[in-house]
């Protein structure tokens, strides 16, 4: 069924929102989305049409972010297909009611957790990984049995258009619908009552989404960001450390929510690390990264200007070259950075890497803890006790020891933030549980009834306290 939203204006789309949401509710009420076989069929269809449009997706990501086909597949398409394959293979097992322990206080009975879909889910996606961060939560919502409204980012228009085509031409609009457009469309959607909202983007907008959800007591997942620190101990494997930091920082030109935002390096190894990182940049991208097929552009002029302001007047240890016409900012390392510098106030979200130093690990830990909790934290050290100390004494959404970003690639690890970096988590089975209400069900026998619980009570409080120790 081709969506009736195709070819209409933004104002017309906004006017149709209440009617479409009402049709979502009616579709959900039929119960068809609760059928596990139906969900699996929809997931298979989603995988099929993604593969059919693979070239279109590559072309769109090239237009929006200058991503190469290899980078596009690795960071966008492969992760989505992997999630879908996992859902298809595990969904029948995951969706079965899970039997849990029933204490003696409920003799004779059994207890189970049922996984119920919420109803209609709103997925609001960002622009930096526009395909992956739209389609991955969409697949999770489908797997859990929900109807879905998708709002892709207007800042990545080419990718948004491809995803809209995929959804509108292959899924019933009453089941999955998509709304393209800017802020007015998002605002109109957030005025409606959804059963669940999944938002990925900035902390600033995350607060707006949370406030809108609160009006209807709508549960949310907020995948936000923050300044993810990279702590480098003096005892490191220098080559691997430099490679993994630079790869994680410059992937997608630093426009990654879990990119290392800044380095806190032990003063003893700072010069060696800086030297090796500059070498790695040229090994990866050549002496002129603007010519590299694997180096992405900045998404738009507004972000280009925002990032340029961080470079102007800074102590540039490497790079700093820019080209407004091509939205190009080269890999840039800033030296002699202080905690109160402008570049240290907000998430950078670009290819700029500030370096700060410390003398004792406690200083680095204190520096991190004085700021908002980050989405990710990275610690490089061959000393296991140092790594354990950092992990134990800091709080972050996720973390890597001796690597960056790669915790996202494990389907068994939840991905999400804490504090200002987010609420909730997903990926793998965690996506299924995120989009499912875990309903507690007690099934009591009618063959026996314990009279102790009824008034008037037949035992003293002292006797009941003793009994309570054994019937939990």
Residue 240 and residue 199 share a domain: no
Cα 331 to Cα 290, 379, 381: the distances in Å are 10, 22, 24
Domain that includes residue 246, residue range: 229-414
How far apart are alpha carbons 22 and 207 in whole angstroms? 26
CATH number, position 138 = 3.40.605.10
Residue 75 and residue 62 share a domain: yes
State pTM to two decimals. 0.94
Contact 380, 231 (CB under 8 A): yes
- Is position 453 within any domain? no
pLDDT at position 467, please?
Answer: 84
Residue 323 and residue 304 share a domain: yes
State the CB neighbour count (10 A cutoff) for residue 119. 18
Number of domains into which the chain is organized: 2
DSSP-derived letter for residue 451 is: G
Residue 338 and residue 324 share a domain: yes
pLDDT at position 470, please?
Answer: 78
pLDDT at position 4, please?
Answer: 42
Residue 250 and residue 187 share a domain: no
- Is position 471 within any domain? no
pLDDT at position 97, please?
Answer: 97
- Is position 459 within any domain? no
- Is position 185 within any domain? yes
Residue 204 and residue 161 share a domain: yes
Contact 123, 144 (CB under 8 A): no
- Catalytic residue, from 147, 230, 257, 296: name it: 257
Pick the closest to residue 343 from 323, 373, 315, 385 (CA basis). Answer: 315
- Is position 465 within any domain? no
Using DSSP bridges, classify how beta strands 352-358 and 332-334 pair: parallel, antiparallel or unpaired.
Answer: parallel
DSSP string, 302-315: HHHHHHHHHHTTS-
Residue 266 and residue 158 share a domain: no
What are the average pLDDT values for consecutive 10-residue runs of the chain, which has 472 residues? Answer: 49 86 97 98 98 98 98 97 98 97 88 98 98 98 98 97 97 96 95 98 96 97 97 97 98 98 98 98 97 96 97 96 97 97 97 98 98 98 98 98 96 96 97 98 92 88 86 73
Residue 236 and residue 217 share a domain: no
Residue 241 and residue 180 share a domain: no
- Beta-bridge partner residues of 373: none
CATH number, position 404 = 3.40.309.10
- Is position 295 within any domain? yes
- Catalytic residue, from 223, 230, 296, 347: name it: 223
pLDDT at position 464, please?
Answer: 87
Three-state DSSP class for residue 159: helix
Pick the closest to residue 266 from 364, 376, 343, 335 (CA basis). Answer: 364
pLDDT at position 205, please?
Answer: 96
Residue 302 and residue 272 share a domain: yes
Calculate ∠ Cα 143-160-91, nearest 5°: 10
- Is position 284 within any domain? yes
Residue 400 annotated among the catalytic residues of the structure: no
- Is position 354 within any domain? yes
Residue 187 and residue 304 share a domain: no
Residue 402 and residue 286 share a domain: yes
Residue 191 annotated among the catalytic residues of the structure: no
Within its chain, how far is the Cα of 3 from the centroid?
A: 28
């Amino acid at each position: 069924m081709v969506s009736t939203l195709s070819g209409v204006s933004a104002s017309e789309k906004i006017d149709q929102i209440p009617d479409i949401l009402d049709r979502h509710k009616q579709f959900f009420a039929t119960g068809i989305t609760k059928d596990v076989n139906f969900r699996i069929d929809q997931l298979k269809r989603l995988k099929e049409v993604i593969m059919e449009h693979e070239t279109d997706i590559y072309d769109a990501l090239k237009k929006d972010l200058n991503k190469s086909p290899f980078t596009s597949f690795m960071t966008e398409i492969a992760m989505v297909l992997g999630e879908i394959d996992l859902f298809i293979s595990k969904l029948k097992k995951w969706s079965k009611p899970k039997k849990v322990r029933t204490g003696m206080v409920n003799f004779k009975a059994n207890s189970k957790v049922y996984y119920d879909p919420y109803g209609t889910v709103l997925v609001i996606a960002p622009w930096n990984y526009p395909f992956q961060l739209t389609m991955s939560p969409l697949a999770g919502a489908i797997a859990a049995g929900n109807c879905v409204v998708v709002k892709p980012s207007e800042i990545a228009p080419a990718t948004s258009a491809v995803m809209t085509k995929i959804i509108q031409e292959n899924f019933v609009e009453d089941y999955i619908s998509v709304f393209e457009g800017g802020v007015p469309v998002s605002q109109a959607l957030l005025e409606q009552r959804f059963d669940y909202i999944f938002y990925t983007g900035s902390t600033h907008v995350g607060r707006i989404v949370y406030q809108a959800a609160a009006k209807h007591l709508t549960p949310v997942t907020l995948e936000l960001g923050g300044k993810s620190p990279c702590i480098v101990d003096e005892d490191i494997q220098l080559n691997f450390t430099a490679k993994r930091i630079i790869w994680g920082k410059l992937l997608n030109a630093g426009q990654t929510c879990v990119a290392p935002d800044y380095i806190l390096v032990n003063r003893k190894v700072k010069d060696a690390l800086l030297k090796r990182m500059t070498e790695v940049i040229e090994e990866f991208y050549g002496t002129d990264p603007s010519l590299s097929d694997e180096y992405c552009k900045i998404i738009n002029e507004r972000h280009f200007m925002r990032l340029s302001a961080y470079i102007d007047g800074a102590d540039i240890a490497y790079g700093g070259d820019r080209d407004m016409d091509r939205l190009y900012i080269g890999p840039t390392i800033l030296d002699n950075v202080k905690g109160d510098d402008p570049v240290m106030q907000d998430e950078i979200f670009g290819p700029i890497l500030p370096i700060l130093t410390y003398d004792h690990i406690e200083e680095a830990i204190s520096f991190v803890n004085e700021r908002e909790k980050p989405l990710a934290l990275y610690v490089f050290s061959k000393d296991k006790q140092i790594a354990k100390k950092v992990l134990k004494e800091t709080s972050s959404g996720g973390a890597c020891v001796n690597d960056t970003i790669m915790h996202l690639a494990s389907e068994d690890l939840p991905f999400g933030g804490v504090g200002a970096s987010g609420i909730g988590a997903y990926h793998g089975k965690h996506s299924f549980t995120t989009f499912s209400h875990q309903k507690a069900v007690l099934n009591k026998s009618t063959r026996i009834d314990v009279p102790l619980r009824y008034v008037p009570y037949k035992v003293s409080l002292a006797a009941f306290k003793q009994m309570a120790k054994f019937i939990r």
